[in-house]
Amino acid sequence: MYIGNHLSSSKGFEHMGKEALKLGANTFAFFTRNPRGGAAKEISEDDANKLRALMEEHHFGKLVAHAPYTMNVCAEKESVLNFSRGVLADDLARMEYLPHNYYNFHPGSHVGQGAEKGIELIADALNAALKPEYQTIVLLETMAGKGSEVGKSFEELKAILDRIELSDKVGVCLDTCHVWDAGYDIVHDLDGVLQNFDEIIGLDRLCAVHFNDSMNDCGAHKDRHQKIGEGKIGADALLAVAYHPLLAGRPFILETPNDDEGYAREIAMVRNAEPLAK
Ligand code: FE
Ligand code: FE
Ligand code: ZN
C-alpha cells in the first residue's frame, strides 16, 4: 500500500523524498507554500527531477500536495477571492514540475453567503485555473463542517464536481477525521458510507485518503485530528479503511499529531496490520 505523512518542503523536493524513505513511506504530502500565508519558494527544476527519479526508483505512489489554509476560493471579500484564485492558478502551474500527482485543497468557507453560492464560486475558480494540458488531478477535500465550510457532505462535493468543465482533472480526497466529524459513521457502517459515496460521487473519483483518528464524536463538526488508535474512531475501524478492497491503491496520508518517530511507528503499524484486517 501507499502510505506516508505530511513533510516540510523547506529543504526542497528531493529532501522530502529522502525523509519519506527514512520513515518507511512511499508517498507523502507537502504544502505548496506557507500554509498560513501565501509566499511560495522558487522551484528548482533540477530538484523536482531528482525527486521524480527517487520516486520511480522506490516505486512511490502519487503525492498529495496541499494548498495553503489561507486559500479560500469562495470567500466574500474581493481581496481574499483574488488572492485565493491567484494562489490556485500559480500552484497548478507549479505542480507541472511534478506531473501526474494530486493537488488537494479545502473547498472553502462561504462565510455566510450560503453553500449554494460557495459551490458556484469554487467551481468558477477551478474552471478559471484548470488547463487542458495540465497533468495534475485536483482534489476537493471532504470537510468536517465547522463554521461555514463547504464540502461537509458528498452532495456538496458532487455539486462542485458537476460544474467543472475539465471534469477528468478533478476528484476527491477523503479525510477520515473530517467525514467522521461531519457525521459519516465509518466505525459502524464503513460499507454503507462507501456505498453512499459511490452512489453520489462515484468511488472512481475517490483518489486519496487523509488518514487520521478524531478527538471528537461522529457528527461533532469539530475537525481535531488524533493519533491512529487514540481517538474516537479507533485503530480497528481505521485499519478497515486502510485495507478496504474498494480503496486499494490510493495514497494514504497521515495528518496525525506526531513527530518523525511517531509517524514511522504509525506507518509500520498500518503496514503490519494487513493480515489482521482481513
Ligand atoms: Fe486538509
Ligand atoms: Fe485532511
Ligand atoms: Zn482536519
- Per CATH, the homologous superfamily of domain 2-277 is Divalent-metal-dependent TIM barrel enzymes (3.20.20.150)
* DSSP-derived secondary structure for 222-263: ---EE-TTSSSS-HHHHHHHHT-GGGTT-EEEE--S--HHHH
Question: Which pLDDT value is given to residue 181?
Answer: 98
Residue with cell string 485536483: 138
- pLDDT band of residue 276 (cuts 50, 70, 90) is low
Determine the distance separating the centroid of ligand 1 and the alpha carbon of 140, expressed in angstroms: 9
Cα distances from 248 to residues 207, 245, 251, in angstroms, run 10, 5, 9
For the segment 229-245, what is each residue's pLDDT rounded down to a tens digit? Answer: 999 999 999 999 999 99
Q: Ligand 3 centroid vs 133 CA: distance in angstroms? A: 31
pLDDT tens-digit profile of 139-187? Answer: 999 999 999 999 999 999 999 999 999 999 999 999 999 999 999 999 9
* C-alpha of residue 33 to centroid of ligand 2, in Å: 16
Integer Cα distance of 105 and 228 in angstroms: 23
- Reply yes or no on whether the pLDDT at 277 is more than 60: no
Mean pLDDT of the chain: 97
Domain limits, the chain: 2-277
pTM confidence score? 0.97
Residue 77 pLDDT > 70, yes or no?
yes
- pLDDT value of position 68: 96
Ligand 2 centroid to Cα of residue 164, in Å, is 22
Q: Looking at the predicted structure, is the pLDDT value of residue 275 above 80?
A: no
Confidence of residue 37 (pLDDT cuts 50, 70, 90): confident
Which ligand is closest in space to the CA of residue 68? 1
How far, in Å, CA of 104 to CA of 265, rounded?
Answer: 25
How many angstroms does the Cα of residue 177 sit away from the middle of ligand 3? 7
Residues with CB under 5 A from ligand 2 (ion): 175, 210
Q: How far, in Å, is the centroid of ligand 1 from the Cα of 72? A: 12
